Amino acid sequence: MKSLQMPPFERVRLHISVPATELLFASYTHYNKPEPFLIMLITIIPASTKSGTAVIRSILAAPNAGIAVQAVYRDTTRAPTEFTSMPNFAAVKGDIADKSSLNFKGSDAAIAITPPVFDRGDLVAIAQERSENVKNAIERSGTVNKVILLSSIGAQFSSGVGEIKTNNIAERVFAETNIAEVIFVRCAYFMENWTAAPETLRGPEPFFFSTVTPLEWKLPMVAVEDIGAVIASEALKQQGSPRKPHVFELHGPRMYSPLDVQLAFSDALGKQAGVPEDVVPEWVEMATSFLPGGVMKPGDVEEGTGVVNGKTELGDAIRSAVQRFLLSAVKGKDIDNGTALNPRWFPDLRTRITTCLASNPQTEERTRLERYLEYMDSKWLELSAGREGFLTEERWRGLNKFAVAWGDMDSMGTYESYLGHVNNIMYNRYAESGRVNWITSFAAHAPPEQRQQWLDMMSPRSIGFILKSIKTDYKLPVEYPDKITVIHKLAERPSHSSESIFLDAVIYSETHKRLAARCFEDIAVYNYKAGKRATLEGFMVEELQHVYDLQEKNKLRLSQQLDKLEQELKVIRGEA
């Protein structure tokens, strides 16, 4: 048997007495990246949409061995690095508008997200043509035995639903295919649609537009993350569907109204968000179809069509979307203008204050400047780290004013060869010690029944963490004697399907009151007993998500405080 080489996909037909999904990975590389035998190839088209990305992420996160993904992009450079770095992923060039570019040969299942939203032209004709392009290419493959179409609630109607009628066309096209298994997943209103116009949320008085009225009207909504998880689950199922086509609606945990959206935005932003009631909806026909008396009013499900409920609450989806466009924590962007945060912002701001003091301002202004300076000097760590989202309370300090030892210094063995600063390898050791203490701190604050599981994460007993990679940027040479403080934060918000967590660590010199080094850590979740990658327990994911949300709120709060301070400083200096 031949192991999978990517790309292209090398197929191996297996004749075994156990279910294919129970196959163990055949081999491991030095970096613990598995090379599975390919037993199922799933193609997603088009893959560049948010839904397509969510589906791919869920499939790649599945524990099933031998599952590979082929993603179709018009521009393959748009494939995210989180996917291209995986050994069982390949990006291929194709366009649903060009039938000659589509090739599903070798695929076992196809996931179609057609038709997309079009800017111009006859929607009906374009939807018909492109749906047929995909369907015909799938049938030509001779290997695809399952087709999943991402559709929309209301797709059973050919009129009276606005743009949703394109989904009706796609369903009618795919219902006629000769493929053995056909599934239509009719999704509710996307929760993330409410964040389509983020500019209105960035102002001092944030607001958003609602195309749904009255504001108290509740309708089903679903998060993109749940769409990805459910469609991936359907693609990986071994048992066949009960009918052809198998149709079900995908809703969120419950129904929500625009007023619920308003509460979610207000909570995510930390301030009251408004919702004007005098805005004429852009999509009148589609909007009215959801409303009382509409053809697709909530709860009116087509006969013979079931309902599947996702897990993501509206507040979670809105909060995650707000964090992405407003905070951009991982990319180090300034909250207000999107520009890169100057790494020297703290000393530069302090210098401007002392320079202003030296110009002998009036007594009232001098008092304010001295207060600003005292604030910055006393809260230097909280401000420096907190503005980037780090939680700086003592609990989150993996090492707190840890004394640098003489033996940590860089030396070749003699006093004459002493180089005068801590050996570079020590920064990684500081980060490692800080990381262990940061993780075990969750045990100290967890309910009694969960403490041991948190502690086991740092041991090989069952499921635990393994450092996959670490990248260190050196900023300042630390010398003996000094004390260092190490703080970790979550660089990304984990999900229930995450097999890794990404941490950002900062190491501060207490003597210089400056950042000495920064580490970026990729931590894999590993099942030592099963000998393969794993996911975290549900309660752990929820606690880590809570911590990530605290980080983002803290970053927003401190950024607003410092922006206010800088504006007041400009007024004093006559720059405003």
Domain of 204, CATH number, reads 3.40.50.720
- 376 shares its domain with 411: yes
Please tell me the distance from the alpha carbon of residue 410 to that of residue 431, in angstroms, as a whole number. Answer: 18
Q: Do residues 442 and 452 make contact, with C-beta atoms less than 8 angstroms apart?
A: no
- 151 shares its domain with 294: yes
pLDDT along the chain (576 residues), means of 10: 35 30 26 51 93 93 85 89 86 92 94 66 84 95 96 91 89 94 95 82 81 86 93 91 93 93 88 73 60 71 80 78 52 38 77 83 81 89 91 94 87 49 89 94 93 91 89 88 95 87 94 91 90 90 93 88 84 70
Instruction: Determine, yes or no, domain membership for 342.
Output: no
pLDDT at 287: 63
Rg of the chain over all Cα atoms, to the nearest angstrom:
27
Instruction: Determine, yes or no, domain membership for 8.
Output: no
| 371 Cβ neighbours under 8 A, 6+ residues apart | none
Q: At 514, which CATH number?
A: 3.10.129.10
Q: Do residues 221 and 251 make contact, with C-beta atoms less than 8 angstroms apart?
A: yes
pLDDT at 224: 92
The CA dihedral of 136, 142, 144, 147, to the nearest 10 degrees, is: 30
Q: Where are the alpha helices (DSSP H) in 418-534?
A: 424-444, 448-456
Q: How far from chain centre, in Å, is Cα 558?
A: 23
Supply the DSSP symbol for 85.
T
pLDDT at 327: 44
pLDDT at 147: 97
Which domain-ending residue is among 334, 369, 388?
334
Half-sphere exposure in the Cβ direction for 119 (13 Å, CA): 0
Instruction: Determine, yes or no, domain membership for 318.
Output: yes
| 526 Cβ neighbours under 8 A, 6+ residues apart | 32, 463, 464, 465, 466, 532, 533, 534
Instruction: Determine, yes or no, domain membership for 34.
Output: no
557: helix, coil or strand? helix
Extract the tokens encoding 543: 């606690």
- 132 shares its domain with 188: yes
Instruction: Determine, yes or no, domain membership for 182.
Output: yes
Instruction: Determine, yes or no, domain membership for 288.
Output: yes
Q: Do residues 218 and 292 make contact, with C-beta atoms less than 8 angstroms apart?
A: no
- 217 shares its domain with 112: yes
pLDDT at 445: 92
- 327 shares its domain with 369: no
What is the residue type of 331? K
pLDDT at 276: 75
Q: Do residues 516 and 478 make contact, with C-beta atoms less than 8 angstroms apart?
A: yes
Instruction: Determine, yes or no, domain membership for 16.
Output: no
β pairing state of 246-251 and 483-490: unpaired
- 421 shares its domain with 291: no
Q: Do residues 545 and 494 make contact, with C-beta atoms less than 8 angstroms apart?
A: yes
pLDDT at 62: 83
- 174 shares its domain with 240: yes
Instruction: Determine, yes or no, domain membership for 343.
Output: no
Q: Do residues 392 and 382 make contact, with C-beta atoms less than 8 angstroms apart?
A: yes
The span from the first CA to the last CA of the chain, in angstroms, equals 72
Please tell me the distance from the alpha carbon of residue 488 to that of residue 504, in angstroms, as a whole number. Answer: 6
The domain tally of the chain equals 2
* Mean pLDDT over the full length of the chain: 81
Half-sphere exposure in the Cβ direction for 279 (13 Å, CA): 16
- 234 shares its domain with 381: no
- 299 shares its domain with 382: no
pLDDT at 484: 95
Q: Do residues 251 and 299 make contact, with C-beta atoms less than 8 angstroms apart?
A: no
- The residue segments making up the domain with residue 89 are 40-334
Please tell me the distance from the alpha carbon of residue 554 to that of residue 386, in angstroms, as a whole number. Answer: 7
* Other CB atoms within 10 A of residue 475 CB: 17
User: What are the C-alpha distances in Å from 531 to residues 26, 32, 125, 536?
Assistant: 12, 10, 52, 15
Sheet with 255-256, edge to edge strand ranges: 189-190, 219-222, 255-256
Please tell me the distance from the alpha carbon of residue 194 to that of residue 118, in angstroms, as a whole number. Answer: 20
- 327 shares its domain with 400: no
Which domain-ending residue is among 283, 318, 334?
334
Give the residue carrying structure tokens 């989150």: 396
pLDDT at 260: 94
- 377 shares its domain with 511: yes
- 210 shares its domain with 131: yes
Dihedral-angle region of residue 562 (phi above 0 means left; psi in -120 to 50 means alpha; beta otherwise): alpha
